[in-house]
Amino acid sequence: MTKFSPFDETLWHATAVDAPDTGPLEGTVRTDICVVGGGYSGLTTAIELRRRGHEVVLLEAQEAGFGGSGRNAGHCTPTFSYLTLDDLRSHLGTERANRLIRRQTSGADMAAEYIRDFQISCEWKQNGYFQGALSPSRIARIRKKAESYASVGCPSGLVDAEEAKRLTGSERFFGGWLLRSGGHLNPLSYSRGLARAALQEGARIFTRSKVTKVERMGQRWHVKTDGGEVVADKVIMATGAYTDGGWKGLDKTFRIKKVILAATSPLPEDVRAQVIPFDGTMHDGRGDIFVYKYNREGRIVASMFPVGRRGRDLEYTRQMLMDRLRWLHPQVPEATTWDYYWTGELDMQRHTIPRLYGLGPGVLACTGLSGRGVPTGTMLGGILADWAEGTPEKDLPLPVERLHSAPAYMSMAPGLVLRWYGFQDNMAARRDGVELPPHA
């Protein structure tokens, strides 16, 4: 059995709403479509299919939100991780890329609709996403991003140093990019809310039901677990980074990238009025990202990728995270501690966009969300439901590919890229004569 990071050490496990009452599959059930995976992608697919009148059974090996959907940092930033919009058009072709761009950039609004329609209690706030410029020469780069996303209809713009300070409470930024559609939430509460929504819509959900085999018998697929099987016309595998068996080779289509997450002790109210007063998602703007936001208790939840000593040495990592936070926001009291520390797994792809794999007639898999889980997982439900309803592949926002393994270099590439980004940022800061962040 694949070993994943502990689930019960996360802030979200301690603070999320209760999970809906579900249990394991027993015996044989029949349905139109079987969805495997109880994260955002699988749950929104189940909801969309039920809304369109299809019978749906969803199988989850652990509990809804056990994977990245329940342990991520809770940011809902409806952008692409690394590729520019023009890069996407070159990679996918203009027409298909524009379809994907429309879906992804509306991902936070889609989440807001689910939360509103199903009255999901998940600490949702849609106050925006801020990416800063820590040196003057970085303004040009974020201006291009702001203009690019504005050109496709997003509420996106550049802010000057004064406005950046008003929004963030930090004097470190020379300006920034504000994407007003960004949001944040409690990711496990959102997962559990989507599971309740799927049940409310009439989907059948079986948890603690790990898929051991999927095989074709006659005209239908038999999705087997230790306790029973689902007989379905079509199957959608939406297990992401937490793929553990079910279909041979599917777990080789991506490379696992660890992420570090931590949550502080609650900050006093007067401090919260000075630190991130706009209460949105904060990105310090460096390529080796430091991203953070509040939860409902006034804890700052921060995330970074492990590189070198960071992530291996726990004491150093905690100190580095606090030093970075207090460098940006010296108003944070010295007595502040990291009350929670955990890790999670991302399913990284070379192009950092999801991939669809045709596994057989009537079987589709989706992996490779690459760290944009909340908006991407939310919007993927509509795409996977479109496929299940027979939308031609040429009309989907993503191509359907043959199953193939991610290149071997992907095991090392993300870490090398982060180091390169850090080097570039440090050089820019030195050229501009500005102070480097601690541990940069």
| Fold annotation for 129-180+266-336+413-432 | D-Amino Acid Oxidase; Chain A, domain 2 (3.30.9)
Computed over every residue of the chain, the mean pLDDT equals 96
Q: What is the pLDDT of residue 351?
A: 83
Strand, coil or helix: what is 336?
A: coil
At CA 49, angle to CA 43 and CA 55, rounded to 5?
A: 100
Q: Write down the domain spans for the chain.
A: 11-73+188-253+350-406, 129-180+266-336+413-432
Give the type of residue at 228: G
Q: 3.30.700.30, 3.90.226.10, 3.30.470.10, 3.50.50.60: which CATH number matches 11-73+188-253+350-406?
A: 3.50.50.60
Q: For 176-204, how does the pLDDT look when each residue is reduced to its tens digit (9 = 90+)? A: 999 999 999 999 999 999 999 999 999 99
Q: How far is CA 421 from CA 182, 417, 425, 428, in A?
A: 24, 6, 6, 11
Report the alpha-carbon distance of residue 250 to residue 244 in Å, rounded: 9
pLDDT above 90: percentage of residues in the chain: 91
Percent of residues, the chain, with pLDDT higher than 70? 100
Identify residue 31 by its one-letter amino acid code: T
Q: How confident is the model at residue 2 (pLDDT cuts 50, 70, 90)?
A: low
3-state secondary structure (DSSP) of residue 344: strand
Residue 1 has pLDDT above 70, yes or no: no
Angle between helices 94-105 and 107-117 (to 10 degrees): 40
Confidence class for position 350, pLDDT limits 50, 70, 90? confident
